[in-house]
Amino acid sequence: MTAIIDKDKCTGCETCVDECPATAITMENEKAVVNNELCVDCGSCVDVCPAEAITME
């Protein structure tokens, strides 16, 4: 399972970027993007996203 970001919901707050222990999330065009090869499936980003824009699939 990896983190999936709904770009329509993402506000670009960067909370998930700061929280990710694997540095798998970066920003592109003011939206969060997950590098699936680096994602360790911990779900930390899901828990901290204030916009509820991230799910694990």
What's the pLDDT score for residue 30? 98
What's the pLDDT score for residue 20? 98
pLDDT digits (tens, 9 = 90+) for 17-50: 999 999 999 999 999 999 999 999 999 999 999 9
pLDDT digits (tens, 9 = 90+) for 41-56: 999 999 999 999 999 9
Backbone angles phi, psi at 36, to 5 degrees: -60, -25
Q: How far from chain centre, in Å, is Cα 20?
A: 8
The CATH number of 3-56 is 3.30.70.20
What's the pLDDT score for residue 1? 87
Handedness of CA 49, 46, 4, 17 (dihedral sign): positive
Helix (H) or strand (E) run with residue 56 in it: strand 54-56
State mean pLDDT over 6-10: 98
